[in-house]
Homo-oligomer: A and B are copies of this chain.
Amino acid sequence: MKQGYHHGNLRQALVEAALKLISEHGPTGFTLSEAAKAADVTPAAVYRHFAGRDDLIAEVARQGYDIFAALMEFAYNGGKPSALAAFEATGRAYLAFARKYPGHYMAMFESGLILNTHPDLALVAQKARNVLERAAESLSQHLPEGKRPPASMFSAHIWAMSHGVVELFMRGAPGAKSPFSPEDLLEAGIGIYLRGLGLLRPDS
C-alpha cells in the first residue's frame, strides 16, 4: 500500500528488523541504528516513519497484540465445542504465541514499555485480555453460583501461570531447567487448576 519511492515499504521492513533483533538480543539489545542497518538504510531514515526508538518498539508491540488477540480469538472459537475445551484452547494459544512470535512477545511483555503512553496500544492490549476473560466468564457459568470465584480472578490465575511458564521455562532463563516441555507443564498445570475449581472430574 505505502509501496513506494525508494525502498518500498520501509516502515514494515523496520518493524521486521526490530523483531529479529529483539528476539535475538532481547528488548534491551535492540537499537534503532542496528534496525536501520538491518533494513539497509540510514538511521535518520527511520524518522520518516517513526517518532523515534520508542515509537518503533511500540509499533512492534502493537502488531504483537493484534496477532495475539486474533490467535486467542481463533482458539476460543466462540466457546465451541464446549466452554471447557475453548478455555483450554486459549491457554494453549498463549504458549503457542510466545513460542512462535518471541520478538513480539518480548516487545509486549519484557520491553518495559508503558501501555498508557500509546492509547491505541492500550486498546488492543485490552482486547487481547478480554478474550481470555470472556472464556473464563462463560466457563464459570458451569460452577455452582455460591462457590464461583470471580471470572476476572481465575483468568488472572491462568494468565499468570502461562506467563510464568514462558518466562521461567521457555527461555534459557534462571537455570530453571526442567524435564518437562513448557507445553506439557502448562497443560498439566491448567488441568490441575480446573480440577480444583470442580470443572474437571477428579480422575480425568
Q: Which residues of A contact B (CB under 8 A)?
A: 26, 28, 108-109, 112, 114-116, 122, 125-126, 129, 147, 149-150, 152-154, 156-157, 159-165, 167-169, 172-176, 178-180, 185-186, 188-189, 191-198, 200, 202-203
Contact = CB atoms under 8 A, between A and B. Distances in A.
A149 B184 CA distance: 12
Contact of A112 (B28, B149, B162): B28
A157 B188 contact: yes
A195 B168 CA distance: 24
Nearest 3 A/B pairs, CB to CB = A196-B196, A160-B164, A164-B164
A150 B180 CA distance: 10
Contact of A164 (B167, B172, B196): B167
A160 B149 contact: no
A63 to B, nearest CB: 15
Contact of A125 (B116, B175, B192, B196): B175
Contact of A175 (B116, B157, B189): B116
18 contacts: A116-B175, A125-B175, A147-B203, A156-B168, A157-B161, A157-B185, A157-B192, A159-B168, A159-B176, A160-B161, A160-B164, A161-B161, A161-B189, A163-B164, A164-B164, A167-B167, A192-B197, A195-B197
Nearest to A196: B196
